[in-house]
Chain A
Amino acid sequence: MQLTRQRDFFAGLVFSCAGITAVWASKNYRIGTAAEMGPGYFPMMLGVLLAVIGAVITFNAIVAKRGADEKIGPFAWKPLFFIIGANLVFGIMLDGLPSIKLPAMGLIAGIYALTFLASLAGEEFKLKEVIILATVLALICFVAFTLLLKLPYPLWPAFITN
């Protein structure tokens, strides 16, 4: 079967799954009555509604005939991986990973790491440009956050400052 409205089909599924999860989780909380609502009352209501709406959207997508440009299209895996990855590495740089004894590296190292990784997500990657960009960003952050706003970010790796 050819599905013309892929986006709606999957959007409906996402809603239904979220709704069912909400209902399933709400069962553990006391429901109560309308006059005396327990913690489960409102989420249960929302969950049921969401699951139903999701089902309707999915059903509509299956029976619909028209809508040629409703395909999901290719996923941008490269940007997805590098942008989210850059963000995670930034977090690790700031806080360190105690589980593998990686020390906190500080804001400056974090900025270079994030800029480098994020730039890999783009169509073009020019190392010289990226280094200049990272340096400029590091300077801006230093002036804005440390000098002007006086936010207590650790700038340098913990093993140097201690």
Chain B
Amino acid sequence: MDLMSNLMVGFGVAFTPMNLLYAFVGCLLGTLIGVLPGIGPLSTIAMLLPITYSLQPVSALIMLSGIYYGAQYGGSTTAILVNLPGETSSVVTVIDGYQMARQGRAGPALAAAGLGSFFAGCVGVLVIAAFAVPMTEIALKFGPAEYFSLMILGLIGAVVLASGSLLKAIGMVLLGLLLGLVGTDVNSGVARFSFGVQELNDGIGFIVIAMGVFGYGEIIKNLGTKESEREVFTSNVKGLWPSKKDFVQMMPAVFRGTALGSILGILPGGGAVMAAFAAYTIEKKIKLRPGEMPLGQGNIRGVAAPESANNAASQTSFIPLLTLGIPPNAIMALMVGAMTIHSIQPGPHVMTNNPELFWGLIASMWIGNAMLVILNLPLIGIWIKLLTAPYRWLFPAIALFCAIGVYSTNSSAFDIWMVGAFGVVGYIFIKLGMEPAPLLLGFILGPMIEEYLRRALLLSGGDWSIFVTRGLSASLLAIAVLLLAAVLLPFIKKKREETFVED
């Protein structure tokens, strides 16, 4: 079987001592930042991106993706024990997880999250392996019109899933696209929006924006809000293993969460956060068994389903990146950065040109998930200790790693000035309720989308109908319109506003 031999190649790559080490480092870091509130995978990956330059491309990607899915595991620990989402994707885990902890059942809650995530992770890896080949074949049929429409779909997806006002999210996408155009235009050689500044001719560095807006912006926001009283259930964690009744209850929830997460992860704009929300909503709709605790009061299903879903989604969101070269969310946009640092063009050719990288990364995800279960369940005590560390020790360290990360990309002090400026901008975004994730996606896609638009219109002789007369392109645009229409429906609009409460 092809799939098997491909996976064998992958495991051959992933099982080298060096790559095992990087997978472990990634998972460890991911769990760490997942547990710590206030620092997420986005800023961590942005921070480490420049450092990966000195690594082998496979090792770099293995480590960075380990951080992403590792954070999904770690985030649940904080959610259950401290009533704070360590990660945005564990926002819903807080609800039932914390209630379980208050009832002295923190152990089973942690186990449900860990085991559910592990199962979902394994399925996610299989889904990637199975879908990668057919998706690549579709990708090779794509012309410029299809690529343009697909990116529009991705951007609309990001807008739809952004919290808060739709119009503001669209504005952020447009702003991101414009920022992406800063620098020398590849076709004409004109330096656009550089305003006479020599350093801007090469464009704005992705890391500069990511770090300024997410790193510094977040720190300043966190310091601006008073440290609230935290109630930590550290002594209550005993008896990790769920009872037989717990297992019976959580298994179907794990299956449902995994299936839902795998699908939502593939969709452009989707990702771990949305998957967790959707999974929780479904669990709420399912009828309670006799004697079962209602959701919201400490039901194990309310932990198992969203945690499975967010982990499955964090894995399958690699599919559009690896096969189409289109990042479905901001973290995958960072992965594009990681790949281009090593001059690998993400897209259908990764699999044919770099099979060991492609399959090695996938195999490493399975290994990483196994490591994470060990890191998060038997070693839970370490993470609990960490939760008692005050933020005043953490934020100077975060600020330092941001600064070093920026400086090490091209050792230019100009970037440090720029990141300072974007830090201020990022804080203004937060104050004005402008969500930065769509901006980042727009920034990455800006130059690509312009190029494909130019090519498509060149082929059609300036006729815009090319986007709707080609079947594939038309269906992609139709999905985008449907998505947009769906959120505008009054019923869903209300639900959406409820789910995305200010965090």
- A interface with B by C-beta (< 8 Å): 7-8, 10-12, 14-15, 18-19, 22, 25-26, 29-30, 33-39, 42-43, 46-47, 49-50, 53-54, 56-57, 60, 70, 72-73, 75-76, 78-80, 83-84, 86-88, 90-92, 94-95, 111, 114-115, 118-119, 121-124, 129-130, 133-134, 137, 141, 145, 149-151, 153
CB distance from B295 to the nearest CB of A (A): 27
The CA-CA distance from A33 to B460 in the complex, in Å, is 12
- B151 to chain A minimum Cβ distance, whole angstroms, is 13
**Interface residue ranges of B413-472 to A (CB < 8 Å):** 413, 416-417, 419-420, 423-424, 427-428, 431-434, 450, 453-454, 457-458, 460-464
Contact B423 A84 (CB under 8 A): yes
Interface of B is mostly: helix
Cα distance A78–B413 in the bound complex, in angstroms: 24
In the assembled complex, how far is the CB of residue A85 from the closest CB belonging to chain B, in whole angstroms? Answer: 8
User: B264-282 CB contact bits vs A (8 Å, 1 = yes)?
Assistant: 0000000000000000000
Which listed residue, A8, A18, A25, A80, touches B220 by the CB 8 Å rule? A80
State whether A14 and B396 are in contact (beta carbons under 8 Å apart), knowing that A87-B420, A149-B54 are contacts in the complex: no
Are A39 and B188 within 8 A (Cβ)? yes
- B454 to chain A: which residues have CB within 8 Å? 37, 42
Report the separation of the CA atoms of residues A114 and B223 in the bound assembly, to the nearest whole angstrom.
16
Whole-angstrom distance between the alpha carbons of A115 and B224 in the complex?
A: 18
Residues of A within 8 A of B427 (CB): 76, 80
**Known A-B contacts A49-B174, A87-B403, A91-B416; A42 and B181 likewise in contact (beta carbons under 8 Å):** yes
Can you report 24 A-B residue pairs in the complex whose CB atoms are below 8 A from each other?
A8-B168, A10-B432, A11-B432, A30-B188, A35-B461, A42-B453, A43-B178, A46-B178, A53-B167, A60-B167, A78-B223, A80-B220, A83-B219, A86-B399, A90-B400, A91-B407, A91-B413, A94-B413, A115-B397, A122-B223, A123-B226, A123-B227, A134-B396, A151-B54
- Give the residue name and chain of the B residue nearest to A95 (CB): B413
Chain B residues with Cβ below 8 Å from A92 are 413
Q: Which residue of A lies closest to B185 (CB)?
A: A39
Would A115 and B432 be within 8 Å (CB), given that A18-B175, A83-B216 are in contact? no
List 5 A-B pairs, minimum CB-CB distance, nearest first: A76-B224, A35-B462, A91-B416, A79-B223, A34-B462
Q: Mark B219-235, 1 if CB is under 8 A from A, else 0.
A: 11101101100000000
Contacting residue for A37 out of B167, B190, B457, CB 8 A: B457
Please classify how large the interface on chain B is, using the bins under 10, 10 to 19, 20 to 34, 35 or more: 35 or more
Residues in A whose Cβ lies below 8 Å from that of B416: 87-88, 90-91, 94
How many contacts A-B (CB < 8 Å)? 194
Judging by beta carbons under 8 Å apart, are A118 and B400 in contact?
yes
The residue that A119 contacts in the complex, of B392, B423, B434, with Cβ under 8 A, is B392
Residue of chain B at shortest CB distance from A25? B193
Whether B403 and A80, one on each chain, are in contact in the complex, defined by CB atoms closer than 8 angstroms, is no
Question: Do the beta carbons of B220 and A79 come within 8 Å of each other?
Answer: yes
**Residue B342 CB within 8 A of the other chain:** no
Closest Cβ–Cβ distance, residue A141 to chain B (whole Å)? 7
Q: Please, which residue of chain A has its CB at the minimum distance from the CB of B194?
A: A25
Which residues of B have CB within 8 Å of A129? 392-393
Determine the distance from Cα of A24 to Cα of B398 in the docked complex, in whole angstroms. Answer: 38
Instruction: Judge if B165 is at the interface, Cβ distance under 8 Å.
Output: yes
| Complex CA distance for A50 and B461, rounded to whole angstroms | 27
Enumerate chain B residues within 8 angstroms of A56, measured Cβ to Cβ.
Answer: 167
- Cβ of B249 within 8 Å of any chain A Cβ, yes or no, is no
Q: Are B392 and A123 in contact (CB under 8 A)?
A: yes
| Chain A CB within 8 A of B51 CB | yes
Do residues A115 and B400 form an inter-chain contact, with CB atoms below 8 A?
A: yes
Within B176-232, the residues touching A (CB, 8 Å) are 177-178, 181, 185, 187-188, 190, 192-193, 195, 216, 219-221, 223-224, 226-227
Contact (Cβ within 8 A) A53 B399: no
B341 at the interface (CB under 8 A from A): no
Alpha-carbon distance A121/B374, docked complex (angstroms): 37
CB distance from A119 to the nearest CB of B (A): 5
Asked if B395 is at the interface of the complex by the 8 Å CB criterion, the answer is yes
Q: In the complex, A133→B175 CA distance in Å?
A: 38
Listed in ascending order, the chain B residues whose CB lies under 8 Å from chain A are 51, 54, 165, 167-168, 170-171, 174-175, 177-178, 181, 185, 187-188, 190, 192-193, 195, 216, 219-221, 223-224, 226-227, 391-393, 395-397, 399-400, 402-404, 407-408, 413, 416-417, 419-420, 423-424, 427-428, 431-434, 450, 453-454, 457-458, 460-464
Chain B residue nearest to A35 in the complex (CB):
B462
Whether A121 lies near B395 (C-beta < 8 A) is yes
Task: Indicate whether A36 sits within 8 Å of B458 (C-beta atoms), given known contacts A7-B432, A43-B181.
Answer: yes
Contact B187 A53 (CB under 8 A): no
Contact A114–B403 (Cβ < 8 Å):
yes
B399 touches A57 (CB 8 A): no
Q: What residues on A are CB-neighbors of B54 within 8 Å?
A: 149-151
Q: With contacts A8-B165, A29-B185, A80-B220 known, what are 19 further pairs, Cβ within 8 A?
A: A11-B433, A11-B434, A33-B462, A38-B188, A43-B178, A49-B174, A53-B174, A72-B431, A75-B224, A76-B427, A83-B223, A91-B403, A91-B416, A91-B417, A92-B413, A118-B395, A119-B392, A121-B220, A137-B396
Asked if residues A87 and B457 are in contact (CB atoms below 8 Å), the reply is no
